Structure 1
Amino acid sequence: MASLSSLIQSVVDNETGGFGPSPSHLPVQFADIPYAPFSKNDKLGRVVDWNQEGAGTSSGGPTGGAGASGPAAGGAGQQRGGNKYGREPKEAFGAASAGTFAYFHDEDEASFSVVAGGASAKKPGQGQGGGLAARQGNRQGQQGGRPGQNRPFQPGQRGAQGAQGQQGRPQQGQQGGRYQNNGRQQNGRWNNWGKDARVREPSVQVQSDWVPLEDIEFSRLAKLRLEVDVDEAQTLSNHGFLYEYDRTYDKVNTKNDKPLQVVDRVRYNPTTSDDPIMQEYAAKDKARVFVTDSILSMLMTAQRSVYPWDIVITRDGDKLFIDKRDGGPFACPSVPPADYPSVNENAADPPLENDKDTLNSPSALSLEATYINQNFAFQVVREDASARHELEHPNPFYQADMETEPLASCAFRYRKFDLSITEEEEVHLVVRTEVDAFTQPAQGSANAGSDEPSLITIKTLNEWDSRAQGSGGAPDWRTKLDSQRGAVVATEMKNNSSKLARWALQSVLAGAEQMKMGYVSRANPRDSSRHTILGTQWYKPREFLAQMNVNLANGWGIVRTIVDLCFKQPEGKFVLMRDPMNPVIKLYRVPMDAFEQGDDLLDESVLASAAASDNGI
């Protein structure tokens, strides 16, 4: 009691003239207790708000005092961060004048944790059984791989949308970076609804004595441009003969279809080094680079390819010969070669090589597409003397005394392209191109009124089974081709972007005015030996390239870059190959005797299946 009376007396007799006890009159037990002003109107509120957000309870305040921590400090923290309902807290009486006592803890209380012995209660929306929040999180997380899109998994990638969608995914069930979402992603691999990631074998095995020289990513290939415009090609010579296209096939449709016939004709496609005309032009120094149109078109559209491929480049002095590899067409049974058109190569879910469905495997579909292309081109021309156009030189590969079958309609045009950037370093290419038939000049065309026929190329698109795996969402041609041809063509452009771009480029390189496209389907989806012609369509090659967003300057830039890389190396042999799993092309130096034992590279089973399927190919 005496202590209380002395404290009151010290308040009354304060020498400083202010309100509060004088430090000189304070008892020892009250010396370190801070004093803050108060108001009689203040009401005692909640000491702890358990529903307060974490941002507001992270630090203590003056109400908690010097020893306040944990939940007891939540009231002061609520003054800083506000409460969960968004209302601003009332300012305490005298807080403006008591800044000395407005002390906040500096240590990070996130290091403290509560250890609970019992199972924690789940909030609504957590776990597998979830509620609305869980369902919304699942829907957001599925944006990176919606089942209707069938996006293939890229190893090491998750996709921007899928990673962003993980923010709304429930966190229950994650163990060591693994989670399950209806079987979509497990152990870091995109499962594509239970399907394994595609593992493709290279078209040729890299040997230990191969020297890597350059790796070029597809992103770099897409940016290449030739600094100068490639002028119109100079035609050096024309060889062979052509038949006229039969116009009656323009009237074919799904209601007036025609069966595809098997026509036995001989057609040649030798590689560059085996061409005697190429050897003659090389001896006369007509150019520095020699290549065929099929190989050149593959280089110009390399970034569109999905299946692996390889070509052989030989430098002999200042000459460069670009060839297809001996034994290359059957080096890998699951990969269509350069001369064999692929089927749905660019589809989101391309055909899968397996033992259960050998009818629709990539290799079987490639052989079927080759069979259809050749027989369709042989069938739609008029083979009579009045419809035959002889060129100035005969076919350089046909030997009448040794061949038992007649020669097919085909013209080889050797054309020269100038890729020179400066006059000091000239780079010319001689390209062997092919055309399939001719038509009489139409009214209003460039050749109207002249005796020169209009050259055309003939290609086909084939339908095999619109409901099978790998069809790429193609519609049924028998019901949609006549009424919705635009949708059919758009789907084919998406699923066969690489093949169609190459065909259009070959037509441009050959100087063909038009490209005839045939639509051929199986008579029965489970029988690959009988086919039906459902329709035809005309295309102008340059307009077709514009529709597919193919840039000729980019293609010539790719060719010039590869040529320059080879000319920087000493004489020898090189291999340019597309990596089977990554979007990159690789250049290797190989021994000069590489691939001479081509028979060792052939697959006996593939050769046997090819021979069994060789119906006029």
Structure 2
Amino acid sequence: MTMPKFELIGIEANKNGWGPVSTGASTDSVVPFQQFNKADRIGRVADWIGIDRFYRRVNDRYNERMYGSAANAGSQFDYVHGMDDNNFQLVDSSRPVQRGTQRNYRARQLQIRKLMQKEQERREQANQAQNLKMKRSIAKEQQRAFKMWQRRGGNARQGPRGGRGFGNERPKERLPSVAVRPEWVVIEEMDFPRLSKLSLPGINNGEDVNDHQYGTLQFYDKGVDRISVKNSAALQKCAGLFYNITTTEDPIIEELAQKGVGNVFATDIILATLMACPRSVYSWDIIAHRVGDKLFFDKRDTGGFSNPVDTLTVSETSSDPPSFEGGGINNSKDLATEAFYINQNFRRQVVKRNEESLKMKHASAPFEEQDAGESGTTYKYRKWNLGVGSNGKPVELVCRTELDGVMLGPHGEQQTLTIKAFNEWDSSQSGGVDWRTKLDVQKGAVLATEIKNNSCKVAKWTIQALLSGSDAMKLGYVSRASVRNTAQHVILGTQLVKPGEFANNIALNLDNAWGILRCIIDSCMKQPPGKYLLMKDPQSPVVRLYSLPEGTFESDHDSSENESDED
């Protein structure tokens, strides 16, 4: 088999120009002629690789006008695949997703959300600040209105109840602390508006009388401060004795009077009742004994702790105080008894009773029972100089004060404590706030409500702490375990305040308090020796000074009659 012969086609060189030589028909048919550029003109260089199709020039329109379009130049020499591209179709005709662009979009959306959240938080903070400012303003206005209402007599002049449309309803009748007898003579009337204007500045903090300090103080248990609404603790029934010996029955005061140490004698609760009398609404009474050139402020012997001076009133200054009469567990007498036992148990529970205690110069007071154990209370006898009286002699006040505990300060120093407790009985009836929902987050609001509803009691507590020279006051919040159960209680929290700062917070003016006491002392010292009675009128903001016949409140018949009048 012979192999085909391979012969090269002859190519002629064009020596006289550019491009192939067109000498014969055979050459033109073998090598097709393609113009170098469509509508080729003189001056245009052949474009073999089609640069115009890949790079755009600034003068594209000029080149197109002068030399024609180069989009299809040299297309006969392009490589063409054997497959027919016109019949090819993609399976997925959707637009491809650009991953980088999607990530940028999400980042921008997240940034926008953060900016919107910050803006929302800023607006909420601004609204909260404005609301807090408004609440403070409202609280100040309410406190100002309450003071004005109290100066005008409180509920005593309140007419039909609250102005709520009960025109035919009479105001609540408050009973006097003791029935006034016809033979009692009114010597003087001291109204609260006049007493509220008095002032006696420059009274010092008092000084201890020699070594007359009696009793022991237990250290405060700081674990109690961890108690909260969510971590409440049951109020325990703590055994112990409580002494409320009045002035004339105190052997220490009798000894000091005989030695000439002072000429006015009283206990801290009696002085606190007199100094805070413009805040009182309920009736109370105090006996004044004029013996020689001395004055003794005393309490009536009512048996137990039912004396109105010792009573811890509940919601006394509230806009809707509890009723005096009627059944149920929420009358004023039962609430006062409940508050008394709560305070005594709380005072003993929050101290370390079985550990080392702080002993005063004398282990116990002379009026304490020797075999009854420690009472957990320290008695300090203190003295104040109230200036010169109308007779030219100085007015020297001697008072028996009490302390409830001791604690270590931030630098290890010992700080004496006055321990008291608020009690929640029924927030729906007392007009207060629910402690279980507000105490942990709004303790200030709860305290403000208690100050408003118990203005007189809180003022008396503060004055007692100031008279005793206490470094701090520990306040407890005790609530009923059930609204209808008065026997079981729980501790929901505690709070520590300084007596001086707390007095300013409750608008207690000490200069005015000393002025009221000095006015009452002067009124009594002007009288001849005898027995007198200071009583707050149950319906009017007035304290009356009565002259009592000899032997009043001393016979068994009088005592039983007075007790029946109170009931």
> TM (normalized to structure 1)?
0.63
**Equivalent of residue 457 in structure 2, options 496, 499, 503:** 499
Candidates 303, 308, 312, aligned match of 1:337: 308
Q: Counterpart in 1 of 2:427?
A: 466
Query: Do 1:152 and 1:197's aligned partners in 2 also have CA atoms closer than 8 Å?
Result: no
Alpha-carbon deviation of 1:183? 3.6
Matching residue of 1:397:
367
Within a 5 Å distance, the mapping from 1:155-234 to structure 2 comes to: 183-186=165-168, 191=169, 196-226=170-200, 228-234=201-207
Find the residue that maps to 2:297 and give its secondary structure. Answer: strand
Closer/same/farther in 2, CA of residues 517 and 478 from structure 1, 3 Å limit: same
Is 1:409 matched up with 2:360? no
What residue identity is the alignment partner of 1:571?
P
Cα distance between partner residues in 2 of 1:255 and 1:527: 20
Instruction: Quote the offset at 1:528 in angstroms.
Output: 0.1
* Aligned amino acid, residue 235 of structure 2: L
Query: 5 Å matches for 1:560-579?
Result: 560-579=518-537
- Tell me the distance in 1 between the aligned counterparts of 2:565 and 2:230: 40
* Structure 1 letter corresponding to 2:206: A
> CA–CA distance in 2 between the matches of 1:182 and 1:277?
54
The answer to whether the aligner puts 1:580 opposite 2:517 as a matched pair is no
1:102-153, CA deviations, whole angstroms, 9 ceiling, x for partnerless residues? Answer: xxxxxxxxxxxxxxxxxxxxxxxxxxxxxxxxxxxxxxxxxxxxxxx9x987
Does residue 311 in structure 1 map to residue 286 in structure 2? yes
Matched residue SS, 2:215 = strand
Specify the SS of the correspondent of 1:376.
helix
CA distance in 1, matches of 2:254, 2:159: 48
* Residue number among 243, 259, 269 corresponding to 1:284 in the alignment: 259
CA-CA distance at 1:158 after TM superposition: 8.6
* Aligned match for 1:346, one of 317, 325, 330: 317
Show the counterpart of 1:556.
Answer: 514
Matches of residues 138-153 of structure 1 in structure 2 within 5 Å? none
Alpha-carbon distance change, 348 to 329 in structure 1, aligned in 2, over 3 angstroms: farther
CA deviation map 1:437-481 (0-9, x unaligned): 1012322xxxx55xxx3110100000011112xx0x211101110
8 Å contact kept, 2:177–2:285: yes
Gaps of 5+ in 2: 1-148
**Contact 1:241/1:395 (CA < 8 Å) preserved in 2?**
no
Cα 1:152–1:497, aligned 2, differ >3 Å: closer, same or farther? closer
Distance 1:454 1:203 in 2: 37
Shift of 1:270: 0.3
The answer to whether the Cα contact below 8 Å between 1:378 and 1:408 also exists between their aligned partners in 2 is: no
In the alignment, the residues of structure 1 paired with residue 208 and residue 501 of structure 2 have an alpha-carbon distance, to the nearest angstrom, of: 22
Structure 1's 216 and 602: CA in aligned 2 closer, same or farther, altered over 3 A? Answer: closer
CA–CA distance in structure 1, aligned partners of residues 181 and 356 of structure 2: 55
Measured after TM superposition, the shift of residue 606 of structure 1 is 8.2
One-letter code aligned to 2:334: A
CA distance in 2 between counterparts of 1:155 and 1:494 reads 18
CA contact (8 A) 2:179 2:565 kept: no
Aligned to 1:429: 397
Match of 1:601 among 558, 561, 565: 561
Partner of 1:530: 488
Decide whether the 8 Å contact of 2:227 with 2:493 is kept in 1: yes
Counterpart CA distance in 1 for 2:348 and 2:370 is 19
Q: How does 1:468-483 map onto structure 2 within 5 Å? A: 468=429, 471=430, 473-483=431-441
How far off its partner does 1:234 sit? 1.2
Q: Which has the larger radius of gyration?
A: 2
Q: What CA distance in whole angstroms lies between the structure 1 residues aligned with 2:321 and 2:542?
A: 20
Other-structure match for 2:296: 321
Q: How does 1:20-59 map to 2 (within 5 A)?
A: none
Report deviation, 1:267.
2.0
SS at match of 1:285: coil
Matches within 5 A, 1:233-382: 233-236=206-209, 237-327=212-302, 337-357=308-328, 359-382=329-352
SS in 1 for 2:175: coil
How many Å apart are 1:369 and its aligned residue?
0.1
| Letter aligned with residue 431 of structure 1 | C
Deviation at 1:391, TM superposition (A): 3.4
Structure 2 distance, partners of 1:390, 1:298, is 27
Structure 1 distance, partners of 2:251, 2:213, is 14
CA, structure 1 residues 245+210, in 2 after alignment: closer, same or farther (shift >3 Å)?
same
Aligned length: 412
Q: Distance in 1 between matches of 2:302 and 2:259?
A: 30
Q: Identify the residue that residue 471 of structure 2 maps to in structure 1.
A: 513
State the 1:392 CA deviation.
3.5
| Structure 1: distance between partners of 2:453 and 2:165 | 26
Instruction: Give the Å deviation of 1:211.
Output: 1.4
* Cα distance in structure 2, aligned partners of 1:605 and 1:571: 28
CA spacing shift, 1:458–1:182, aligned 2, 3 Å: closer
What stretches of structure 1 of length at least 5 have no aligned partner? 1-148, 163-180, 608-617
- Distance (Å, rounded) in 2 between the aligned partners of 1:565 and 1:329: 30
1:13-162 equivalences in 2 (<5 Å): none
CA distance in 1, matches of 2:351, 2:565: 35
Kept after mapping to 1: 8 A contact 2:189/2:543: yes
Contact 1:433 1:509 in 2 (8 A): yes
The aligned residue for residue 124 of structure 1 is none
AA matched with 2:184: W
Cα drift, residue 366 of structure 1: 0.1
Higher helix share: 2
How far apart are the structure 1 equivalents of 2:492 and 2:323?
26
- 1:520-574 residue CA offsets vs partner (Å, 9 max, x unmatched): 0000000000000000010101111101111111111111111111111110000
User: Which residue in the other structure is 2:407 paired with?
Assistant: 439
% same residue: 43
Counterpart-to-counterpart distance in 1, 2:233 and 2:448: 24
SS of residue paired to 1:427: strand
Deviations 1:20-50 (A, max 9, x none): xxxxxxxxxxxxxxxxxxxxxxxxxxxxxxx
Q: Which structure has the higher relative contact order (CA within 8 Å, separation 6+)? A: 2
C-alpha distance in 2 between matches for 1:605 and 1:318: 34
Match of 2:240, SS state, is coil
